[in-house]
Structure 1
Amino acid sequence: MANLNLRLPDDLHAAAVTEAETSHTSLNSAICDALRDWVAMRALSRKEDLILDQVMREDTDLLALIREAE
């Protein structure tokens, strides 16, 4: 397991501590959960971008419908 020194603004640290305590978890677990969620969202966004690129290359009719809806 890797160690990481993290500098946070005081207000963000206080809010994270409060949320962790409210959730009955450690600050470390709360930060790991938040980072895990962020990584998953980024991966999903990249996947969506790849799918959209594929549609734009391969399905000109669908792309035309999308553009008409805008």
Structure 2
Amino acid sequence: MIFRQLFDRETCTYTYLLANSDSRDAVIIDPVREQFDRDMKLLGELNLQLRLVLETHIHADHVTG
């Protein structure tokens, strides 16, 4: 399993990346829209294929990814 916790300082929001180290399938949880490039770059660096994006709750203070 691959796990990364990412933080966006502007919105004080945590985003999580989980992936299967064998299949290379990945899920991003609670992404921040302004961090799209960062998240896609990390997926590429880790040779992962994004399969799902999950939102656990509504963010009243910013637009999610």
TM-score by length of 1: 0.25
The structure where helix makes up a greater share of residues is: 1
Larger Rg: 1
Q: Higher relative contact order at CA 8 Å, sep ≥6: structure 1 or structure 2? A: 2
